[in-house]
Structure 1
Amino acid sequence: MKVNYKKISPVISVIVVLAAAFLMYKLNALTTLRSDDFNYHYSFADGTRLSSFMEVVKSQAAHYKVMNGRIPAHFLMQLSTLFGKSVFDVANTIVYIFFILLVLYMIKKSWKVNPLTFMIIFVILWFYLPAFGSTVLWWDGAFNYLWTTVICLIALLPYRNPKLYDYKVNQFIFPIIGLIAGWCSETTSAGIVFFQFWFIVYWLYNKRKHVIPYVITMFASFGGYCLMTFAPGQMQRLNRVSGGEIPILKNMYHFIVAMGSRYYLEIIIFILLLSISIFLQRNKELNYLAILFFATAILASCTLIMAGIQIINERTYFGIETMIVIAMGILVKNIFADQLSVFQKMNLAYVIILVPLFLINYRAAYVDVRRTYNEYNKREVYIEEQKKKGEKELNLNAINSTNDHSPYYLTPDLSPNPNHWQNVTKSKYYGVDKINKVN
């Protein structure tokens, strides 16, 4: 009996999405508290444990003055501490799946899920996104990178699908989203404003009408970016990391060298795909859109270096590399626009190759995350035992990992210095006077 693929495809899509959600939830549930997670349980206003919405608001008002300007991420982080880690695990899993759907929407302008395409993007993001454990699984890290990138992509939805502004309510909603998106990240938010500006320029060049809602959203995003960049806490932070001086030409040189060495392969592939798309006379607007996403990634990667920050954490590249995946995906889709059967066969071949590699890598990550989870729980039991004995000074083993999908990968859990903030915040969280690292 011949199977009707069109009828069973929606069922397969649901199964694939649920399987991906299950795999991500398992990792989320095994990810423990670390680093800033302990600190953000307490108010920046008065140092007390957060217990209400208004306390979170007061804490973020103080945070804006003394820490940095990324209020949306840290507001969500502190708000989530009121509900607990288990609620976050479920919410974060849903947000990650929605993140994949947003990436796919930016590529093909459709919410319809093709199971093969979904699996390919899911696997590509697993391998390609930087510091996966710290940007997707880690509690505070997820809010700062995954969730803020989702907000930024939502702000770009009307630019990918102009029909969204046909609804008047969206002309009010998206400027608000744009404001929040501009307030999210030093890198990705700068890229968003750049994207919006050049998209509007392109529309004006082609004499398209009804650009006012896009201009309003762009200015809202720029306003959000200014609120973040010129926050008192942000200015203090930049002065600390840049030493108060920003040599523009020297930093530009470092930028070119850093981006050339990091993304040379992506640049070559992008130019190759763009050349093929132009040669085959594919949709010009999609080619421009791909160029705009890729240029957005490059500009976003430039912002911190130009601000005087020479050493950039891997996590910072999360939004940047998301834009690169979107740009490449648009070109591939554009190239195979009139060869859907060939495209589907190619997708199937990639799934056959990539999924087994993913499962092997996922198993290794799962084993390592479970190991750190067990070590963390043993340490929790030990801490409680010592506290019951009346101990106020604890000697603890730090938890470490060499797996690049672990939240503990290349990030400190404890410092040899008991007065370091990593140790001090844990001391406060556990209600002891001092924590020493012994390994």
Structure 2
Amino acid sequence: MREYYEKVIFGYQKLDAALSKEKSAKCILLLLSLSFGILILLLNIIYPLYADDWGYTFITGSELTQKITSFSDILNSQYQHYFLHGGRTIVHIIAESLLLLKGYWTDIINSMAYVLFAYIIYKISNLNKRANPSLFFFINILIWFFQPAFAQTILWITGSANYLWGTLIIISFLYFFCQSFIKQDNNNSIYKCIVFVLFGIIAGWTNENTAIGMIILIGILMIYLKHTQKKIPVWMLFGLTGAIIGFIIMIAAPGNYLRYENVIEGNKLLQQSKVKFYFSRLLPVIGDFYKFALPLVMIYSLTLVTYIYFDKKRNTRIIYLSLCFCLAGLMADLAMVTSPEFPPRAWFGIITFFIIAIGIIYANLKTDHIYISVIKTLLIFFASIYFILSYQRGFKDLYAINKIFEKREQIINRQPNKTEFDFVTQESINPQTGFPMIDEIPSKPNHWINMFYLRYHNIKSFKIESDK
């Protein structure tokens, strides 16, 4: 029995060594990238335009009368948006550009953004390391299972522009800081400073709470560098300055204050005292942290303990960098205390920071130890099965919703006079899982989703009539 066990272990180690070779690992990594890219593309194709998507096909401020037909229209729309609605100009330019493209091009580009997003997380986690396919696999698994609004932030066009694309810009910016931090690189140039101040402005001008996490992360990296080496790279200072400028431009948008006034009108506690309101928001924010982030914190803690236990020559910079991402996630979470609402999709950047923290430690685990190697293989096996089952359920649910939306499109397109068409239907969407995160279009004509749907399709009315 012992001989048989030793043969199995020897065979496993031999196979693991063969798959771990650089050439094999790169091939597997490419195959995984293509596989996840195709799976996300299939979901993108069947995810319908919904809610804000319909509204963002019109120039902001035109009262849903002027459709966007060119990039100059997008710039005009976002100029108006900045003064009327909010300051996320960069991501809304992306949203309106994707909506202008339409069709399969939008689906393909959005899917490529997802693969690039996962790859940048992988690159930050795997700095100065050989190709690590299992790391890339687990990153995608963590994104799938732990992003609380996966469909809303990765498949829905407006949501993906705000969260997937916005966070992609932020972590792409952070990659260079992390690379310099680990490599202890101090190269400076005027060109590099100019590039990073501009890059920083764009990164800071994307998403409020994620940008706060980014700025804090850069700040604490620079504090560490200040205490361990003589000079902080000048381009880092320019990059941080740019990020702060971009963030200020975003939050200073007059549209933010117009929306804030509307919130105050409907919130008595906020009218009485802002301090009391912020304290009242603290418990819900902490509660959501336990709900959405605590499982990742536990995974991170377990991974960190394993790393410290098995690697006696552990790299303190690796541990510090991972803790910085944890702190960035925590600060991005606490920043939502100032917001009157905290929808699950707003967790996207926070969860991303924690996934990166886990990835950094996992990438540095000593997988040549047999116990860690076997556990890794078992996790890949069971995670794959669970992912396939979960994906199948989500795809089936989303496909059924897509068919109803397509059927409605066909009915509308057959009308000889759309502007006089009163659309009444008894068929409503009925999601079987929480994956699609698509609600039925309200029948109330004054509801904003109903209004967007009517103007987008240029019809008179839309109503769901219950089948009695």
TM-score over 0.5 (shorter chain): yes
| Mapped partners of 1:105, 1:238: distance in 2 | 38
Q: Aligned partner of 1:327: which letter?
A: A
1:301 pairs with 2:322: no
- Asked whether the equivalents of residues 196 and 242 of structure 2 are also in contact (C-alpha less than 8 Å), the reply is no
Tell me which residue corresponds to 1:166: 187
Q: How far did 1:99 drift?
A: 0.8
TM-score by length of 1: 0.90
Map Cα deviations across residues 299-324 of structure 1 (whole Å, 9 max, x no partner): 1011122x142x31110001110111
The CA distance in 2 between the partners of 1:156 and 1:422, in whole Å, is 36
Contact kept, 8 Å, 1:415 with 1:423, in 2: the verdict is: yes
Distance 2:230 2:422 in 1: 68
- Deviation at residue 198 of structure 1 after TM alignment: 1.0
Q: 2:248 matched to which residue of 1?
A: 226
Which residue of structure 2 lines up, in the alignment, with residue 69 of structure 1?
Answer: 87
Closer, same or farther in 2 for the Cα pair 1:308/1:161, shift >3 Å?
Answer: closer
CA gap of 1:329–1:9, structure 2 versus 1, over 3 A, is closer
Check if 1:377 corresponds to 2:406. yes
Whole-Å separation in 2 of the counterparts to 1:404 and 1:55 = 36
Contact 1:193–1:218, Cα closer than 8 Å, also in 2:
yes
Describe the shift of the 1:199–1:141 C-alpha distance in structure 2 as closer, same or farther (beyond 3 A): same
* Residues 110/50 of structure 1: CA separation in 2 closer, same or farther (3 Å cut): farther
TM-score by length of 2: 0.85
8 Å Cα contact 1:424-1:435 kept in structure 2: no
Once structures 1 and 2 are overlaid, which stretch shifts more, 355-364 or 112-121?
112-121
Q: 2:378 aligns with which of 339, 349, 374?
A: 349
Structure 2 residue matching 1:395: 3-state secondary structure: strand
Cα 1:71–1:187 change in 2 (3 A) is same
Matches within 5 A, 1:250-329: 250-275=280-305, 277-278=307-308, 281=312, 282-305=314-337, 307-309=338-340, 311-329=341-359
Q: Which residue of 2 aligns with 1:420?
A: 447
Tell me if the contact between 2:132 and 2:363 (Cα under 8 Å) persists in the aligned partners. no
Question: Aligned-residue CA RMSD in angstroms?
Answer: 2.6
Select the structure of larger CA radius of gyration. Answer: 2
Code of the residue aligned with 1:350 in structure 2: it is L
1:20 aligns with: 36
Cα offsets for 1:369-416 (capped at 9, x unmatched): 11111111111112223454874322245534242331xx2x434123
Between the aligned partners of 2:30 and 2:44, the Cα distance in structure 1 is 21
The number of aligned residues is: 433
Tell me the amino acid that sits aligned with residue 363 of structure 2: K
> Which runs of 5 or more structure 1 residues have no equivalent in the other structure?
none
144-153 or 277-286: bigger deviation: 277-286
1:44 corresponding residue in structure 2: 60
- Cα distance in 2 for partners of 1:294, 1:139 equals 28
Provide, for residues 244-265 of structure 1, a one-character-per-residue CA deviation record: whole Å limited to 9, x for no partner.
5423333334433442454344
CA distance in 1 between counterparts of 2:31 and 2:297 reads 35
* TM-aligned CA deviation for residue 191 of structure 1: 0.6
- Map 1:137-148 to 2 at 5 A: 137-148=155-166
Q: Which digits, 9 at most, give the CA deviation of each residue in 1:340-391, with x for residues without a partner?
A: 7765544322211111111111111111111111111111112223454874
* Deviation, structure 1 residue 216: 1.2
Greater shift after overlay, 336-345 or 360-369? 336-345
Given the alignment of the two structures, is residue 95 of structure 1 paired with residue 127 of structure 2, yes or no? no
Q: What is the SS of the residue equivalent to 1:417?
A: coil
**Contact 2:419–2:460 under 8 Å retained in 1:** no
